[in-house]
């Protein structure tokens, strides 16, 4: 139940894009077409789960035992950058079709603040949980939930923007300004989930 609540909370109630403002650059930049939004969403889910697990291990076994907590930011960003590169190389070798689908989105993810954001949030939320297995599982669930919420917001946004292109809008609002206003209205709709989890 706790795991389900965590997933629900991070994907819908505290949606990464619409209520925590993480990962806005790809949200606005890659949401013009449905296909791109789909690819980017999958790539983000994949990297977020991997990054959550790896940074958890780094925190638990390398930083915490030696009292190096202040190195968190530096280590995490380097670990994530290395991870993304490794994943890119691995996918290229192992699964060319997957690489063709996700490849162009992977380099963009290194500087996606949502990935570092989820890693830091995991540590803030579950880093001090005594039970190692529980802390690990919660971290994995939070990573997955954050990615799923990101993908959901991306897909909605892509659908909305494909229709916005056809509307006779005032010139000043065309493109990014109206996309932001739509994102705001979408965030308002997501407020409906707020009562579910305390």
Partner 1 sequence: MWRHFLSGLWKDNPVLTLMLGLCPTLAVTTAVTNALGMAAAACFVLVGSNVLVSLLGRFFPKKIRIPCFIVIIASFVTTVELLMKAFRPDLDKALGIFIPLIVVNCIILGRAEAFAYRNRPLASLLDGLGMGIGFGIALLILGAVRELFGAGKFLDIPVTTAFSGAPGAVMEPIGLLVLPPGAFIVLGLVLAARQAARDRLKERSRRARFGG
Residues binding partner 1 (CB under 8 A): 18-25, 28, 70-74, 77-78, 81, 111-113, 116-117, 120-121, 124, 170-173, 176-181, 183-188, 191
Residue 137: alpha-carbon gap to chain centroid: 17
Q: CA 170 to CA 174: how far, in whole Å? A: 7
In the complex with partner 1, which residue's Cβ is closer, 74 or 197? 74
In the complex with partner 1, which residue's Cβ is closer, 85 or 95? 85
Q: CA 19 to CA 16: how far, in whole Å? A: 6
* Min separation Cβ 52 and partner 1, Å: 15
* Min separation Cβ 30 and partner 1, Å: 13
In the complex with partner 1, which residue's Cβ is closer, 101 or 120? 120
In the complex with partner 1, which residue's Cβ is closer, 90 or 188? 188
Task: Give the total residue count for the chain.
Answer: 198
Q: CA 74 to CA 168: how far, in whole Å? A: 47
* Min separation Cβ 150 and partner 1, Å: 13
List Cβ neighbours of 170 (8 Å cut-off, separation of 6 or more): none
* Min separation Cβ 162 and partner 1, Å: 18
Q: CA 80 to CA 61: how far, in whole Å? A: 17
């Amino acid at each position: 139940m706790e795991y389900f609540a965590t997933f629900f909370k991070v994907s819908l109630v505290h949606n990464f894009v619409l209520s925590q403002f993480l990962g806005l650059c790809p949200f606005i930049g890659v949401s013009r077409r449905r296909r791109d939004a789909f690819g980017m969403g999958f790539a983000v889910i994949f990297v977020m789960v991997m990054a959550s697990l790896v940074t958890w291990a780094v925190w638990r076994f390398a930083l915490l035992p030696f009292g190096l907590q202040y190195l968190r930011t530096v280590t995490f960003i380097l670990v994530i950058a290395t991870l993304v590169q490794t994943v890119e190389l691995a996918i290229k070798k192992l699964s060319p079709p997957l690489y063709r689908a996700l490849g162009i989105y992977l380099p963009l993810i290194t500087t996606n603040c949502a990935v570092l954001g989820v890693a830091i949030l995991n540590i803030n939320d579950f880093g001090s949980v005594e039970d190692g297995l529980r802390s690990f599982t919660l971290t994995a669930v939070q990573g997955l939930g954050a990615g799923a919420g990101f993908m959901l917001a991306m897909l909605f946004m892509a659908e909305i923007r494909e229709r916005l292109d056809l509307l006779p809008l005032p010139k000043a609002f065309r493109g990014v300004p109206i996309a932001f206003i739509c994102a705001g209205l979408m965030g308002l709709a997501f407020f409906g989930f707020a009562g579910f989890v305390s």
